[in-house]
Amino acid sequence: MAETTLDTPAETHRPRRIKWEAIGDHIILILGALLMMLPPLLALTTASHDAVTIHREGLQLTLGDDLGKNFRAAMFERGGFTQTVDGMLMLMNSFILGIGFAVGKIVISMMAAYAIVYFRLRFATLAFWVIFTTLLLPLEVRILPSYEAIQKLGLTNTYTGLIVPLIASATGTFFFRQFFMSVPEELAEAARIDGAGPWKFFVDILIPLSKTMIAAIFIIMFVFGWNQYLWPTLITTDESFFTLVRGIKQIVLSYTDSQIPEHGQALALAIVAMIPPVLVVVFFQNWFVKGLTESDK
Amino acid sequence: MKRAGFDTIWLPVALLLPQLMIIAIFFYWPAGWALQSSFFLQDPFGFGSTFVMAENYTSLLGNDQYKRVAGFTILYSVLVTFFSLAIALLLAVKADKVIKGAKTYRTLLMWVYAIAPPVAGFLGILFFDQSTGPLTKFFQVFGWDFKLGVDYNATATAMVIVAVWKQVPVNSIFFLSGLQSIPRSVREAAMIDNRSATGRFWQVTFPLLAPTAFFLLIINITYALFDTFGIIDALMKGEPGNNPMTLVYKVYLDGFRGNDLGGSSAQSVILMALVLLLTVFQFRLVERRIHYT
Amino acid sequence: MAQVTLEGIRKVYPNGFQAVQTTSFTIQDGEFVVLVGPSGCGKSTLLRMIAGLEDITEGVLKIGDRVVNDVDPADRDIAMVFQNYALYPHMTVRKNIGYGLKNRGAPTAEIDAKVEDAAKMLNLSEYLDRKPAQLSGGQRQRVAMGRAVVRDPALFLFDEPLSNLDAKLRNQMRIEIKALQRRLRTTAVYVTHDQVEAMTMADRIIVLIQGRIEQIGTPSEIYHNPASTFVASFMGAPPMNLIEAEVDQQSVRINGFGNQIQAPQSFDGPVTLGIRPEDVEMDEQGQVVFHVDILEELGAHRLLHGRLANQPFSVMLGKDDAAQIGETKINLKPEALRLFDRKTGLRL
């Protein structure tokens, strides 16, 4: 009457096909990964040799003996023209720039985005377009007048002058605006019924809700700030404000001395300059990817 | 604006103020200043400036060197965009396909994003070193006496290669994300309708990736135009001389080293117009094509 | 011949999870077979193995006389309708329907003709040049069917195609799909978790739970002679009443009560007694006491919900039969009684 499973032994036990296609895919991916990894890896191995070897023979494949020496010199020896700067100082400056920029950007753009999205302002649209047009001029294009502005304000060689002008662009505001628009209307309405005013709503509900977004954009902004080159170069002539990225340039450019530039130290610095942003991006991968892909307007 | 918008005025104004102030001081003031000084010719000894109207602009457009730099910028943008997109697409497609190790590949491919452009340029110097650089030797095998910093084409090639290397990760991430947002069932339906994997890719997958691709096109062009500053600066080792450079680098050069404020400002304005064009293009084209499902 | 044969088919995922236990059955040419069961029972996995979208861990799959274990989906001469339609968003309806034909090298004129025919059959003619985003859910569903129909395959596969439609549309499409299959006489394998769809559409039903087949049979067989308590309670609405009882030789004692009913079979021990709500009669002199708690008015019938021997029990009455809340007596039609072993759930 009712059929149920039959335990017929399988007629043929099919051998699994070797998927050549899959092997090819992996090869391409491995090559790609190697391509990406090779330069910094070689930087690491090369940084373990002394300057003379590097100068004469270029990139090294094997690990030498001078890794520790070069790192120590780069980080702890005071160098530069005024003999006041060492790697640690530059590291700290890079951190200040990276974190300062990221935090500043997030705070300011969240507030601005909140103001534009959640309030009945007659000039909200105007404010939006005013902010939007900042996308039109990347910093590099208005570098000269921005420098003049900082000079006139007397903010050269200050952390403020270093960080604040970088915040003058719409990317963060856009990002949060887009996110806030996607938050269900009902949430604000429920908060209103519960008696929460606009500020409480912002602090108690909206900000906690935005945690992942904040993390995501923090990562991107931190890396951006840390890797800043042109602006710090112009604004800070005082060596005690140098960031790592700036410091590397300094070493490489010192061809003017009769001495061979300290390539090993420069490479060590370069590696130190690479590590924090890379660590942040790798360990917080998911947030990072999310931040990147969601920040397309 | 939200349906449930609050009615208070003072709070939003207070919230907007910091951003608007910063923008006013560090964006509009400099931008306006650049616009203004582009119409003046500065006395090289700093004694004032004469209103020359559009002369700065016309002299630029007639200037051979400017044209050369503009030409290189365009070529550079095209090459960097094309190669970094192509390589990234290939890697993303493969990374999306493999089941094992997808996450590891993604990590390995993406982390180069975090490297600063000047640092990348610095690595480039070592790789392309005239006597010892491995890539120099590579090119010599093909009969090309590769001299970074001396030979215009060699330096240009190095700039392209380093810029592409640094940009592939970002593009891969976006492509991968785009691929993963294509519903699996659509791809399975294609498997039933078309036995050729390449056919399926070009007829079904790629068209659905088009919005991402357009978006990336704009991002990459912007990258090539502006964010490669550090790479270019590093590879020419601070000696502009006869080396290739992009328009934005020239803005910097003429403004800071050459003290040609008027000319540099005029260049800025031209670049600003270009960015305006790109942004409009991006909004129009990308927004229209985005939502299919 | 589009017979589908599964011999010893099994599916185990790389992480060790067995989605489908060793299974064999045959689907006849032209038959409409429905795979039904709760979430996670393996029905979709089975369907996808037939389609070629999942690898078969063990066993032999034949379509017609051909062993297709390692054959690409595109070469199995099948067509599939997905739950979320899987239409190509960037192509017009016309291109969507014709895509499969195009890749098989059919001449353009022939493709156009076939697409027009399919569109007419499915009332899509005026939408041919629109894109999926411009269509309603029901229209998209029909485009998905058009895509399948136009290829005239040996086998149709449906993966819960009606789940995303509203109730009214679902009822309508059920009839349309069945009628279409009847007309084309193509073998069809249909997956659903909705037992109504199974009962109304299938020539034969395969009931699955946790990766194994619980019963294969016609809707009538499944309904009247369920092989287990699971099938009895899953299939048919309202579900079969299942009461815990004991059998002592020829007598059934319902737990806690001394009601005596003749047992269909001889068996000693704990059992579950099954009877469909419509096989119960109201009778003042009845064998069993039934407490009515709720009366559901369904228009054509009435459904009484309550307790029998303190266990939930339902009785279905005709629309004119008298009914009221409170205690009453009922008779259980002896030929409708089904006994299940309480421990295994299997039919005795």
Collect all residues of chain A within an 8 Å Cβ-Cβ radius of residue B135. Answer: none
CA atoms within 13 A on the CB side of B187: 17
Closest to B156 in 3D by CA, of B259, B43, B258, B79: B79
Note the ipTM here: 0.81
Per-residue pLDDT at C255: 67
What is the β-pairing status of strands C155-159 and C338-341?
unpaired
- Tokens for A50? 């002394």
Tokens 């399975």 correspond to B188
What span, in angstroms and rounded, lies between the C-alpha atoms of B250 and A134? 22
- C337 interfacial to chain A (CB closer than 8 Å): no
Instruction: Quickly state the pLDDT bin for C60 (edges 50, 70, 90).
Output: very high
What span, in angstroms and rounded, lies between the C-alpha atoms of A262 and A52? 8
The closest CB to that of A8, out of C7, C221, C347, belongs to C7
Mean pLDDT on C110-122:
91
Collect all residues of chain B within an 8 Å Cβ-Cβ radius of residue A277. Answer: 114-116
- Tokens for B14? 């207070």
Contact assignment for C133 to B188 by CB distance below 8 Å: no
The yes-or-no verdict on residue C217 having pLDDT over 60 is: yes
Per-residue pLDDT at A118: 84
The B-side interface with C (CB below 8 A) comprises 183, 185-186, 188-196, 199, 203-204, 207-208, 210, 291-293
Q: What is the pLDDT of residues C250-295, one digit of tens each?
A: 777 776 666 667 776 777 778 888 999 999 988 888 778 889 999 9
- A95 interfacial to chain B (CB closer than 8 Å): no
Cis ω before A9 (30° cut-off from 0): no
Alpha-carbon distance C4 to nearest alpha carbon in chain B (angstroms): 18
Per-residue pLDDT at B293: 35
Per-residue pLDDT at B288: 57
Give pTM, 2 decimals.
0.79
Instruction: Quickly state the pLDDT bin for C212 (edges 50, 70, 90).
Output: very high
Per-residue pLDDT at C331: 85
The yes-or-no verdict on residue C150 having pLDDT over 80 is: yes
Chain C residue whose CA is closest to B99: C14
Per-residue pLDDT at A260: 65
Collect all residues of chain C within an 8 Å Cβ-Cβ radius of residue A11. Answer: 7-8, 59-60
Collect all residues of chain C within an 8 Å Cβ-Cβ radius of residue A3. Answer: 25, 213, 215-217
Chain A residue whose CA is closest to B274: A136
Output phi, psi for C146, to 5 deg: -60, -40
Q: Which of the residue ranges A201-210, B230-239, C74-83, C181-190 would you say has the lowest mean pLDDT?
A: B230-239
What span, in angstroms and rounded, lies between the C-alpha atoms of A210 and A199? 15
- Per-position pLDDT tens, chain A of length 297: 343 434 333 333 334 455 777 788 888 888 888 888 888 888 888 877 777 777 776 677 777 777 777 777 777 776 655 566 777 888 888 899 999 999 999 999 999 889 888 887 777 788 888 887 787 777 877 787 888 888 888 888 888 888 888 888 788 888 888 888 888 877 887 877 777 778 888 888 888 888 888 888 898 899 888 988 888 888 888 777 888 888 777 776 664 445 666 777 778 888 888 889 888 888 888 888 877 776 553
Per-residue pLDDT at C325: 86
Please, what is the average pLDDT of chain C? 89
Collect all residues of chain B within an 8 Å Cβ-Cβ radius of residue C90. Answer: 207-208, 210, 292
The DSSP symbol for C164 reads T
Distances (CA, A) of A37 to A45, A101, A105, A181: 13, 28, 31, 39
Per-residue pLDDT at C1: 53
The closest CB to that of C84, out of B185, B191, B291, belongs to B185
Ranges of chain B whose pLDDT falls below 50: 291-293
Contact assignment for B20 to A127 by CB distance below 8 Å: yes
| Position with higher pLDDT, B35 vs C17 | C17
Mark B67-81 as b/e (b = at least 16 C-beta within 10 Å): eebbebbeebbebbb
Q: Which of residues 191-250 of A touch B (CB under 8 A)?
A: 192, 197-199, 201, 223, 226-230, 234, 245, 248-249
What span, in angstroms and rounded, lies between the C-alpha atoms of B275 and B226? 10
CA angle B271, B274, B277 (to 5 degrees): 155
The yes-or-no verdict on residue C28 having pLDDT over 90 is: yes
Per-residue pLDDT at A4: 40
Give one DSSP letter per residue of A107-156, joined into a string.
HHHHHHHHHHHHB--TTHHHHHHHHHGGGGS-TTTTHHHHHHHHHHHT-T
Closest to C151 in 3D by CA, of B192, B202, B204, B200: B192
Q: What is the pLDDT of residues C225-251, one digit of tens each?
A: 999 999 999 998 889 999 888 887 777
